[in-house]
Structure 1
Amino acid sequence: MSTTNGSTAAPIALITGGSRGLGRSMALTLADRGVDVILTYRTSVKEAREVAARIEAKGRKAAVLPFDVGKSAGFQAFAMAVKAELASVWKRERFDYLVNNAGTGIGAPFADTTEEQFDELLNVHLKGTFFLAQKLLPLIADGGRILNVSTGLARYTFPGYSAYAVMKGGVEVLTRYMAAELGPRRISVNVIAPGGIETDFGGGAMRDVELQKFVASETALGRVGVPDDIGGIVAMLLAPETRWLTGQRIEVTGGFKL
């Protein structure tokens, strides 16, 4: 497989929050398609190493780095750590795909949302996405890809998630600006907006049976999502065939509230 810079080496994807849930599925699915992976974790080091071991069992290379997307003061040091991993594991200076996946879910009614909750969501989802991509730009290959992660809640409303949805709405606007400004380097930038996915995100809310029944009843395809629904879409959006796609929002909700 060729990389975006024309070499014969495998492409390298950096996935934030790759130890569990959606990030785990993204990492494993990309590995199945011949992509090497750098994945980050905040607290789940055991799970991250297990994902890396599974990637290597598929014949791909993997690296694991600790990272807190909510603390922008550490972004430059993280970029240097990525540069060191690229040099030591791959003998390369750049990677090909950045997937801004790491996040946190805080649910609270608009009237009860605290400034502390708001700031945490801001730092993780909007400020984190903005400045992490900025710091990693020198390490992303020309012709590479950036894929941001939003939420279906930026289109439809679900009481209790106003602050979270606002941040993700900002990520969607940011995606278009990044696509326009990074176009001269042939870096495409898109955003996916998942719906309800059965993971432990947000305290595992989507594992509740009654909530699943409600979501399924409002979904055209008749069920809640599973992580591999998202992993497959990410692999598709990073494939060579989608190189002409940029600045787009792709909702992955199974048709929730159409």
Structure 2
Amino acid sequence: MALVTGASRGIGRAIAERLAAAGAEVAVHYHRDKAGAQETLARIDGRGFLVGAELGVPGDTSAVLDQLTPGLAGRRLDVLVNNAAASPAGPIGADTEEAFDRLMAVNVRAPYFLIQRLLAVLADGGRIVSVSSVATRMANPAQTSFAMTKGALETMTRTLAQEFGARGITVNAVAPGATRHQENAAVFEVPGLAELIVAQTALGRLGSAEDVAEVVAFLASPAAGWITGQVVDASGGLHLGVG
């Protein structure tokens, strides 16, 4: 059984589909987009159930656990994918304390305390995979606070990997780059943007949600049992070097 947060669309949906294709039942988490989550569940042939909860607010982990527990029906959770995230809030000059606090609450506090609460139901030998970003290794002034949250997520990944190793639980992160999917396709229609990104990507194209999902699925698989505490770049080599 896997739980994927933010699975109603985009990368989260692709991860849910890929894990289901590998045989997992998936708890499809969503916040506002219940219809999208229902579509995700339909796309995996109903192999799972919905978990509706806002993250980054008081009581969020209890809301998730209250819905997850009946679905587990006494079984253990094998895979947790922390995918849900708040979007970048812009450059420091335009940022606000409220937006900053929201980013930290959704992108850092929520996955941290979700892991804490789910340890009781997570199987020994289980997998925790968090979705980070190449923003942690790039200086993008438009994403400073966002990159800070993802840097915290990567630090959490390394330290929890050390702590949970005694139970055989691996903890890793995946760092996508520019990833086009149905929900953000309009962003890449800005004249010249896609071409600029592709020119700075070693593999010469934009990423897809499925590209990221493949890496997550590998880290969640038995084949990745000897990998822990790592951040796997899934950007196709964005800003890897001078072209």
Q: Does structure 1 conserve the Cα–Cα contact (< 8 Å) formed by 2:18 and 2:214?
A: yes
In structure 2, give the amino acid aligned to 1:24: R
Deviation (angstroms), 1:190? 0.2
Q: 2:92 matched to which residue of 1?
A: 110
What residue identity is the alignment partner of 2:145?
Answer: A
Match of 1:4 in 2: none
| Post-superposition CA distance 1:41-62 (Å, at most 9, x none) | 11111111111112126xxx21
Report if aligned partners of 1:69, 1:128 keep a CA contact under 8 Å in 2. yes
1:32 CA displacement: 1.2
Q: Residues of 2 paired with 1:208 and 1:164: CA distance?
A: 22
Partner of residue 29, structure 2: 40
Matches within 5 A, 1:141-180: 141-180=123-162
Aligned twin of 1:55: 44
CA distance in 1, matches of 2:89, 2:190: 15
Is 2:72 the counterpart of 1:83?
no
Which string of whole-angstrom CA distances, capped at 9 and with x for unpartnered residues, describes residues 151-208 of structure 1? 0000112221000000100000010111011111111000111101113667953453
Q: CA deviation at 1:107?
A: 3.4
Q: Distance in 2 between matches of 1:174 and 1:201?
A: 28
- TM-score normalised by L of structure 2: 0.94
* Shift in Å, 1:106: 2.5
Paired position in structure 2 for 1:64 = 50
Moved more, 13-22 or 111-120: 111-120
TM-score by length of 1: 0.88
Say whether the 8 Å CA contact 1:26–1:231 is kept in structure 2: yes
For 1:31, the equivalent position in structure 2 comes to: 20
1:17 — aligned with what?
A: 6
Q: Measured at CA, do residues 208 and 196 of structure 1 come closer, stay the same or move farther in structure 2, by a change above 3 Å?
A: same
Aligned AA for 1:156?
M
Residue 220 of structure 1 is matched in structure 2 by 202
Equivalent position amino acid for 1:21 in 2: G
Secondary structure of 1:161's counterpart equals helix
Q: Give distance in 1, aligned partners of 2:189 and 2:89.
A: 15
Separation in structure 2 between the aligned mates of residue 251 and residue 207 of structure 1, nearest angstrom: 25
Answer whether contact 1:72 1:131 (CA < 8 A) is retained.
Answer: no
Partner of 1:19: helix, strand, or coil?
Answer: coil
From the superposition, tell whether residues 207 and 42 of structure 1 become closer, same or farther in structure 2 (CA, over 3 Å): farther
For residue 150 of structure 1, report the CA deviation from its aligned partner: 0.7
Structure 2: 5+ residue runs without aligned partners?
none
Offset at residue 111 of structure 1 (A): 2.1
Shift of the 168–204 alpha-carbon distance from structure 1 to 2, 3 Å rule, reads: farther
Q: In structure 2, the residue corresponding to 1:76 is in which secondary structure? A: helix
Q: Are the aligned partners of 1:143 and 1:188 in contact in 2 as well (CA < 8 Å)? A: yes
What is the identity, as a one-letter code, of the residue corresponding to 1:30?
L
Q: CA, structure 1 residues 142+246, in 2 after alignment: closer, same or farther (shift >3 Å)?
A: same
Q: Matches of 1:244 and 1:33 in 2, distance apart?
A: 19
SS in structure 1 at match of 2:23: coil
SS of equivalent to 1:56:
coil
- Partner secondary structure for residue 245 of structure 1: coil
Give the aligned residue type for 1:56: D
1:120-149 CA-to-partner distances (Å, cap 9, x unmatched) read 100000111111111111111111000011
Q: Which amino acid aligns with 2:220?
A: L
- Following TM superposition, by how much is the alpha carbon of 1:238 offset from its aligned partner in structure 2, in angstroms? 1.0
Flag as ranges the 4+ runs of structure 1 deviating above 3 A.
199-209
